[in-house]
Structure 1
Amino acid sequence: MGTYALPAHAFRAIADGRLDLQEENSFRLQTPAHGGTAVMEVADEQQKAWTDYHYVTADIYHEAHDVLVVLFSFTDDKGRTITVHFGVLPQVETRLCLPLAALNGEKLFLDRYPGVMQSVLRGDAFVDRASIKQFAVATVPSITARSFEISKLALSESIPSFNYAYTPYVDQLGQLSWKSWEGKLRDREELAAALHDEWEELQQGNQALDNWSQYGGWKSLRFAATGYFRTHFDGDRWWFVDPDGYALFSTGMDCIHPAGAMRVDGMEHLTPPLPEREGEFADAWVGEGYSFGVANLISAFGANWRSKWKELTEQRLKVWGINTIGNWSDMEFIRESTLPYVYPLSDFPSTQYKIFRDFPDVFSKEYEEQATRFAEQLLPLKDDRRLIGYFLRNEPHWAFVDGLNLTEQLLRSAHRFESKTVFVKWLSEKYGAVDQWNAAWDSSFMAFDDLYDAKLAAAYLDSGSCPDDFSTFNRIMIRRYVELPSRACKLADPHHLNLGMRYAWVSSEEVLEGCEAFDVFSINCYDMAPSREQIKIISERLNKPLMIGEFHFGAADVGMLAYGIRAVETQADRGLAYQYYVEQAASIPELIGVHYFQLNDQPVLGRFDGENYQIGVVDGCQQPYRPFTEAMARTHARMYEVRTGKTAPLQHCPKEIPRTGF
């Protein structure tokens, strides 16, 4: 296999890092808790190697107590930078492999190689491999100093082999095997006893429902009933209104299902012996993954485990004060529950050729036809009164690039998109004559059709009034992207609310174009509290209420290796963080719901894409985090008093610790 070693002596430590050279292409990087970086300046004679070879590979090892998030960053001669975040397990050697083709920016989540946790790409829309000027290895801030060794760092022509030693990492319950913590269970007998005790406790009754309507609404405030969920502005604040007319501030729980499955492929060297796919634990095999959480339910409840889980979970949610079944929840559970729910539509309209990442050719006939088919999945649900509404999709990948210029990406492509044809026609109608267009753009095109030549177009992507025209056409495309499927869905199902696309964040003001078509604008907000100012701005811009589709907090005091996107020190702090977030949210007039992500901790060895966060309300052994659930119940008991201004929201936010989110 052909390789090109990247010499360790070419790196220098910056940002408080300390670099110790080992062998020719190996070094140890030590960083303080706030992070550090090792940088290699790419000499002119080395640049060709970045196009001749197809992968960057390296072995990495560290002995910390949690996941190391290591960054590979690439900067080209135009100053564009792309950074790839890798999650690396502690105390086990891991081989990293990055396809250099990823620097075209087209994929947000990269393929997962054996032993590696999630690999995520951040930064600019693309980096020119032919002109890479700098390569850096870095760490993100952590709760402690870091020390890790990088060896065999090289460019490679092909994917390397992954020959790992067998090192069981979790026990038969799915718990981290080499760490102890309060609440760690010893065996299946102890697990079963704990679940049966909780079952008996929950059968004693539940007073949390006394002031709830049959749809989870608040009986102390009522508006006109329409028979379905709707939104309402009462002059001071927005609300969901349930089918019987009762006000609802939606506190939801995402991913209500028995337990997530661990990806087995590529992690066999870290997995204990697993049961056969047929037999007592057959239900624990979910596709190609294995769910320790389901296996633990089978151990506790036997063949009737699913029915017991559904009853147990329904009672838990009501005791905790959850009034909405959130996104990606088990449909069998939804059908048998009495709680209202939201529904994620699947297979958002797309096209064979995409402008950037998942942004389709929105002016193609294909997109229009796909939008019509997409809406048809609502037909079986259109008369369900427990359905609040539907999400069109989740976190569009194209919107992860701040200030993304879709029109520039359109013209950089050699493909003749229908959207490119519409843009050329739009320009010709705006300017009339080519000379007027050239004067405005400070260009020298011979005809409007010259824009079909990507090389010709690339010479004038930032001159004259070109950026203004791009911005206008970006808005035209985004509006069509939003309005076509929204219109089709409303025709298929006029009763239920369009809850939007759950954007990860609003990466530019252009993203809001067309979002008036939603009934509710949804956003996933991973902060210690929602931004009152941003929510007000968006709501006033769209004249719509907002809801938060995801937020969470993890902690460092149990047997998990990554703490999610926002983290605090202890489970008690998690409870306070939840209370602070929800009460601050409830006090924002334009916000009508917050949904927590998620019910279960993720598997220690990672779900399908490698996320392994301690963010659940219950752990992998199906045990609730009691300080957290007690705080949830306390919060929801006060929520409507806070919402209506009768009680002040919690003012103290627990101390945040550095995250280990990828």
Structure 2
Amino acid sequence: MSTSIIEPTQKVPYLKEHRLLNFSRESLPNELMFLHTDAFITPVGENQYGVRITSRAKDNFYTATNLVPEMPWDWSQLPNFSFAFDASNLANHSTQVFINIFNTQDEMHSRSITIPACRNPRTYICELKGDYLQGKTNHYSGLRSNPAPFDTPYEYATWMWGAINIDLTSICKIELSIHGSLLDHELVLSNFRLIQSPPTNPDYLTGIIDKFGQNANVDYVQKVHSESQLLALKDAELETLKAGKMPQRSTFSGYTGAKQFEATGYFRTLKIDGKWSLIDPEGYPYFATGIDIIRLANAYTMTGVDYDHSKIEQRQADDLTPEDSIEKVTVSSEAKQTAFIASDMRRNCFNWLPSYDDPLAEHYGYMRELWEGPTAQGETFSFYAANLQRKYGENYRQIWSDVTIDRMLNWGFTCLGNWAAPEFYRNEKIPFFANGWIIGDFKTVSSGDDFWTALPDPFDPQFEQRAIATVQQVKAEIQGSPWCVGIFIDNEKSWGRMGTIQGQYGIPIHTLSRDAVESPTKAVFMTVLQEKYQTIEALNQAWSTQFTSWEIVAKGVCDLAHNEAQCEDYALLLETYASEYFRIVSQAVKAELPNHLYLGARFADWGMTPEVVRACAKHADVVSYNYYKEGLHPEPWTFLEEIDMPSIIGEFHFGARDTGFFHPGLVSAESQDERGEMYERYVQSVVDNPYFIGCHYFQYIDSPITGRSFDGENYNIGFVSVTDVPYDGMVNAAKTINSSLYQQRFNQLTK
């Protein structure tokens, strides 16, 4: 039986290790609860026991092992400590486990571990209290996840999301979950405990990055140690690329081994024998497999240096490109003369940065606003771009572009994914996808969980004007090219989260609380409700409210009961809102770019509520989703049959920590080879789905180990490393699946 570690009247004990659960060979502890998994007592040592859990992937999208105390644990007065447990993996593949810790204040602290295929147990720790926990403090590193700030033989769990410094006074559940998996898993878990942290090392991030942007303290097969080695790797790769693109590919990378359809000169969609497909400009069936972020903009990292802001060119009110999509804000020599260290911890990460008169100083830039970082703004540097100059010489930019196109064709990809630099739009060797952002001084609404930014108010006339301006910029970039498959506008907007009424219907709930005079969307919602109910008495009867007039509702109403009728109306209002957004964007695209496909706004898997997806399906040519799981598990995608629309995956990825990264990415593997295996399985799940017409992997280049400058993402998710060296496991997997996907997808079509 577990007990609360700290009683309200007790002083803090000196904690070294405290067991949370007591196992016996007769039964599992009462505090252990299981969701969609089989669980059995199993020996883990002499007179020691744990729990053996088995999850069946095809039967359950989400499985969990939960530790739930009889009374919430109060850990607030403990010295620095971590939650720890032992785990071994009986399967022949790794298992990603999310460690989600909850308190009674509805906070969640989420980390992730990757348990390799190994019967020998390892200890995993989740730091819950410490001097250097990531946060916006004087010690903030700006990395999405840090390494352990102390010496430990244990595996330090990767930070994911939630409250990094969670309130520890009332911990009510620890959840170990697996979700979105395509494979069955079998784990042994034991020895759940708290352990006191050793003394922290204030220099734990000092000197971690070498002159090539790699982890200075980790060695691995493809690590670059010298410029001569970098040049030798370049020469060897260029020789392999001479093989060219894969056979049975049309001019536009469609499939020439199957029936040819009507050629319109541009890409279009067509349902063929029950499967949605793209048709290329020459009439050949086409499946869009590609890689996102083929650009240098995301390869910059913060250096910890800043300048006098008056010397920096500022953003303009009519800018149409977000700060993180601008490749580089050039800094004048006058500004560099004002340089000062804004973050010692950050600056000390680097063993080397070029002096301002070094030829590689060309790769300094500036970030004027950050979503999250070690400073509010400041100097950036791109080790990747510097390595390109080392590798390809003075004309590195053009050579890199040419090599990149050759790689895509040789690796079997049929397109460049989203966010390719516009310079690639002229390549005329491989199709591309274009994108735009609607940015402007229009009014906004809120879902209550505005992850990246507030949502636009599409009923504000200014939004339509900015949508037109955005599409006109895209039009100028693609210049009517038949090589453009289609256009994404916006990305991962916070439409709402499933699971709760407030999460799913946050937009109507928050908007109803606003004054219709100030909110164009609220004014439209009033029209919808008045048309439906006619009288305030009818609304009151349905909603069980006592409003005295429509004017009261128009002024703003809060604390609604969310009864069945209200929820039905929330759904109506949400779809009304989203339909207007997609209608306006689609109208702008069709007016300016009538020959190109409108591909929606790339729903995040946490933000694809049914009402908004239906609204998109009314107006887009293709519905797009960013889906970070092991593959297309059937459970979340049953709605595809209802909307019956061509769909595309805009983002997915896999990462590992075996090349010195502190964060593998949103979906993790144990090694570079396993990353490739997971990539192949994911793409296969897309090829097998009749509604999907393609998928784009995120991204081409690894994130910087010290995090991309805008938000600190420090993921090992690239097809190529910071030294521009391709990962063999990923490339081999791409070649394997890309060489057969057309035959699999269109095997029923004959010429």
Secondary structure of residue in 2 paired with 1:430:
helix
CA distance in 1, matches of 2:634, 2:101: 35
CA distance in 1, matches of 2:387, 2:445: 43
Mapped contact 1:165–1:269 kept (Cα < 8 A): no
Distance 1:148-1:286 versus aligned 2 partners, 3 A rule: farther
| Residue 324 (structure 1) aligns with | 415
Distance 1:93-1:191 versus aligned 2 partners, 3 A rule: farther
What's the TM-score, normalizing by structure 2? 0.68
CA distance in 1, matches of 2:408, 2:397: 16
Distance 1:595-1:22 versus aligned 2 partners, 3 A rule: closer
Mapped contact 2:12–2:78 kept (Cα < 8 A): yes
Aligned pairs for 1:188-227 (under 5 A) are 188-203=227-242, 205-206=243-244, 208-221=245-258, 222-227=260-265
1:480-526 Cα distance to aligned partner (Å, 9 max, x none): 12211111211111000011111112542112132221111111122
| Residue 377 (structure 1) aligns with | 473
Letter in 2 for 1:365: P
| Residue 489 (structure 1) aligns with | 589
Mapped contact 1:552–1:564 kept (Cα < 8 A): yes
Mapped contact 2:493–2:603 kept (Cα < 8 A): yes
| 1:233 maps to which of 267, 271, 283 | 271
| 2:603 maps to which of 463, 487, 503 | 503
| Residue 444 (structure 1) aligns with | 546
Mapped contact 1:20–1:27 kept (Cα < 8 A): no
Note the C-alpha offset of 1:579: 2.0
1:287-330 Cα distance to aligned partner (Å, 9 max, x none): 33211112112222221221221222222111100110111112
| Residue 117 (structure 1) aligns with | 144
| Residue 547 (structure 1) aligns with | 648
Aligned pairs for 1:355-366 (under 5 A) are 355-356=446-447, 357=450, 358-366=454-462
| Residue 432 (structure 1) aligns with | 534
Distance 1:82-1:249 versus aligned 2 partners, 3 A rule: same
| Residue 388 (structure 1) aligns with | 485
How many residues are paired up? 576
Letter in 1 for 2:248: N
Note the C-alpha offset of 1:97: 3.4
CA distance in 2, matches of 1:436, 1:17: 45
Secondary structure of residue in 2 paired with 1:97:
coil
Is 1:94 aligned to 2:132, yes or no?
A: yes
| Residue 102 (structure 1) aligns with | none
Distance 1:536-1:140 versus aligned 2 partners, 3 A rule: closer
Aligned pairs for 1:168-179 (under 5 A) are 168-179=207-218
Distance 1:320-1:350 versus aligned 2 partners, 3 A rule: farther
Letter in 1 for 2:481: D
- Comparing 390-399 with 461-470, greater Cα deviation is found at 461-470
1:34-72 Cα distance to aligned partner (Å, 9 max, x none): 79xxxxxxxxxxxxxxxxxxxxxxxxxxxxxxx999978
| Residue 624 (structure 1) aligns with | 726
Calculate percent identity across the aligned residue pairs: 26
| Residue 597 (structure 1) aligns with | 698
Letter in 2 for 1:172: K
Aligned pairs for 1:466-481 (under 5 A) are 466-481=566-581
Mapped contact 2:75–2:168 kept (Cα < 8 A): no
| Residue 46 (structure 1) aligns with | none
| Residue 276 (structure 1) aligns with | 355
CA distance in 1, matches of 2:446, 2:564: 24
Unaligned runs of 5+ in 2: 1-10, 22-65, 89-95, 114-124, 146-158, 179-186, 305-342, 367-378
Is 1:30 aligned to 2:83, yes or no?
A: yes
What's the TM-score, normalizing by structure 1? 0.77
Q: CA RMSD in A?
A: 4.1
| Residue 744 (structure 2) aligns with | 642
Distance 1:604-1:116 versus aligned 2 partners, 3 A rule: closer
CA distance in 1, matches of 2:621, 2:409: 27
Aligned pairs for 1:222-261 (under 5 A) are 222-258=260-296, 260-261=299-300
Mapped contact 2:84–2:126 kept (Cα < 8 A): no
1:412-448 Cα distance to aligned partner (Å, 9 max, x none): 3468312222222332332222222222221111111
Q: Which structure has the highest helix share of the two? A: 1
Aligned pairs for 1:516-531 (under 5 A) are 516-531=618-633
Is 1:412 aligned to 2:513, yes or no?
A: yes
| 2:678 maps to which of 577, 588, 591 | 577
Distance 1:74-1:229 versus aligned 2 partners, 3 A rule: same
Mapped contact 2:274–2:690 kept (Cα < 8 A): yes
| 2:397 maps to which of 295, 306, 311 | 306
Secondary structure of residue in 1 paired with 2:212:
coil
Distance 1:69-1:536 versus aligned 2 partners, 3 A rule: closer
Distance 1:217-1:536 versus aligned 2 partners, 3 A rule: farther
Letter in 1 for 2:543: W
Letter in 2 for 1:474: L
Is 1:458 aligned to 2:558, yes or no?
A: yes
Unaligned runs of 5+ in 1: 1-6, 36-66, 100-110, 124-128, 153-162, 648-662
Distance 1:547-1:246 versus aligned 2 partners, 3 A rule: same
Note the C-alpha offset of 1:22: 11
Aligned pairs for 1:341-360 (under 5 A) are 341-347=432-438, 351-356=442-447, 357=450, 358-360=454-456
Distance 1:576-1:459 versus aligned 2 partners, 3 A rule: closer
Note the C-alpha offset of 1:644: 2.4
Secondary structure of residue in 2 paired with 1:394:
coil
CA distance in 1, matches of 2:420, 2:698: 11
